[in-house]
């Protein structure tokens, strides 16, 4: 088979498994290897090809990460490989004009239509067999200019048409959402989450909203806002990104766990500490990070700050109480 198809299938597999995959799992399931893999026997030719393909990826600027087994560090047979989705994302400083974005959207559509060839579908089936729960559109390999949030489309219409929008927004720690009436200026993706950069017309101040916290349909008004508001978007984005300078977290994870695999690529520093690893992570939103960490259970423990630790503890206690458990 063409090397491009095999490399593409390998990238899909390495991205689809954030916790990593062993060499055996990759060679036995990925299209381009699996048809020649012999179960229970040595496969030296395939292993050499796998090493060459990893070198090829490095030459393309795609770094393949390796994770030691927490049970047997140094055992190459248990080493796990993965590609962080973050390395395939566009740099934050890269911007496009509206004309360029339109052309990129068309190119992305063409890629999407052409990517599901027979070979690509076979690769997807192999990945599903690995337990990836695969949706090729969400892997981050094909270029996609959009958001999975239902609010994204009407917000973009408001941005393009200079229309005022209204929606219900739930602030962290609040019991019910509150109405917002804003001039939508830009959709901005940071830390894997989509944000609306806007000018709040009731408060006469810039505001940034997480799309995941919008609790109602977005109503696009016929009223237009002052185009001068667009000039304020850059300052609002800069202020958003400065939040990461204020929110620094120290988190212990079990080495080789899903929490370890997810936090390591984002960490400014990671240090091994026996069976654990300590990550220093910056974040734009402590509440969003707390939601993530609570999902890892005992595999992630917050060392500092106290505010983040309390937020995670509150979420875990709420889950325990909801299931009739003892929160002590």
Summary mean pLDDT of the chain: 81
Identify the band that residue 135 occupies on the pLDDT scale cut at 50, 70 and 90: very low
Q: Which of 236, 223, 108 is nearest to 163 (CA)?
A: 223
pLDDT-above-70 percentage for the chain: 78
300 falls in which pLDDT band (50, 70, 90)?
very high
> pLDDT band at residue 128, thresholds of 50, 70 and 90?
very low
Beta-bridge partner residues of 249 = 281
Question: Quick check: 325 pLDDT over 70?
Answer: no
- In this prediction, residue 255 carries a pLDDT of 85
For 293-316, what is the mean pLDDT?
93
Q: CATH classification of 152-233, choosing from 2.40.30, 2.60.40, 3.30.420, 2.30.30?
A: 2.30.30
Q: Where are the domains of the chain?
A: 3-138, 152-233, 247-322
Quick: pLDDT tens for 207-224: 999 999 999 999 999 999
d(CA 138, CA 141): 8
Q: Which residues, 6+ apart, have CB-to-CB distance to 6 below 8 Å?
A: 30, 31, 32, 33, 53
Least confidently predicted of 65-79, 96-110, 129-143, 237-251: 129-143
* pLDDT tens column, 38-54: 877 788 888 888 888 98
Question: At 104, is the pLDDT very low, low, confident or very high (cuts 50, 70, 90)?
Answer: low
Q: Place 131 in a pLDDT band, splitting at 50, 70 and 90.
A: very low
More confident residue, 27 or 96: 27
CA dist., res. 198 & res. 233, Å (int): 7
Strand-pair category, 276-282 with 248-254 = antiparallel
DSSP per position, 57-117:
HHHTT-PPEEE--SSSTT-TTT-EEE--GGGGSPPTT----HHHHHHHHHHHHHHHHHH-S
pLDDT band at 130 (very low <50, low <70, confident <90, very high): very low
Q: Is pLDDT at 225 greater than 90 in this prediction?
A: yes
Residue 98's pLDDT is 67
Tell whether the model's pLDDT for residue 292 goes beyond 80: yes
Q: What is the per-residue pLDDT across 51-100, written as a single tens digit (0 to 9) for each?
A: 889 888 888 778 888 887 666 666 777 788 988 876 666 666 666 676 77
pLDDT digits (tens, 9 = 90+) for 164-204: 999 999 998 888 999 999 999 998 888 778 899 999 999 99
End-to-end CA distance of the chain: 58
Choice between 121 and 307, residue whose per-residue pLDDT is larger: 307
Structure tokens at 132: 């990836």
pTM over the 0.95 mark: no
* pLDDT for residue 141: 43
Q: How confident is the model at residue 322 (pLDDT cuts 50, 70, 90)?
A: confident
- The pLDDT value recorded for residue 129 is 44
- Assigned CATH topology for domain 3-138: Arc Repressor Mutant, subunit A (1.10.10)
232 or 126: which carries more pLDDT confidence?
232
164 Cα distance to chain centroid: 29
Distance CA 197, CA 124 (A): 36
Mean pLDDT confidence for 252-269: 86
Residues whose CB falls within 8 Å of the CB of residue 171, separated by 6 or more in sequence, listed in order:
178, 213
Contact at 8 Å (CB) between 263 and 249? Answer: no
Would you say residue 138 has pLDDT above 50? no
Query: Which pair of structure tokens corresponds to residue 123?
Result: 């690769």
pLDDT for 188 = 86
Token pair 């954030």 is found at: 18
Q: Could you tell me where the beta strands, DSSP code E, fall in the chain?
A: 21-22, 65-67, 80-82, 163-169, 178-190, 193-200, 205-210, 219-224, 248-254, 269-273, 276-282, 300-304
């Amino acid at each position: 088979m063409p090397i491009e198809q095999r490399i593409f299938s390998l990238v899909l597999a390495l991205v689809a498994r954030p916790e990593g995959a062993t060499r055996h799992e990759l060679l036995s399931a990925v299209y381009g290897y699996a048809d020649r893999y012999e179960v229970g026997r040595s496969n030296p030719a395939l292993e050499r090809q796998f090493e060459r393909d990893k070198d090829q990826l490095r030459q393309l600027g795609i770094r393949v990460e390796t994770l030691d087994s927490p049970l047997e560090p140094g055992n190459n047979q248990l080493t796990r490989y993965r590609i962080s989705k973050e390395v395939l994302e566009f740099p934050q400083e890269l911007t496009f004009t509206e004309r360029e974005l339109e052309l990129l959207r068309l190119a992305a559509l063409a890629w999407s239509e052409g990517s599901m060839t027979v070979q690509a579908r076979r690769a997807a089936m192999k990945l599903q067999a690995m337990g990836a729960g695969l949706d090729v559109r969400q892997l981050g390999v094909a270029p996609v200019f959009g958001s999975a949030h239902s609010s994204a489309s009407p917000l973009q219409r408001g941005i393009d048409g200079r229309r005022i929008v209204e929606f219900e927004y739930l602030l962290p720690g609040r019991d019910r959402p509150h109405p917002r009436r804003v001039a939508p200026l830009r959709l901005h993706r940071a830390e894997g989450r989509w944000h609306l950069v806007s000018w709040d017309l009731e408060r006469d101040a810039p505001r940034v909203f997480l799309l995941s916290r919008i609790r109602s349909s977005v109503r696009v008004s016929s009223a237009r806002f002052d185009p001068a508001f667009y000039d304020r978007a850059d300052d609002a984005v800069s202020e958003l990104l400065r939040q990461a300078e204020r929110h620094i977290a120290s988190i212990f994870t079990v080495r080789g766990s899903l929490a370890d695999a997810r936090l390591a690529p984002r960490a400014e520093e990671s240090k091994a500490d026996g069976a654990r690893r300590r990550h220093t992570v910056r974040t734009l939103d402590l509440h969003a990070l707390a939601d993530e960490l609570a999902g890892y259970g005992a595999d992630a423990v917050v060392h500092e700050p106290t505010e983040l630790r309390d937020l995670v503890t509150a979420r875990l206690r709420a889950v325990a109480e909801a299931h009739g458990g003892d929160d002590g």
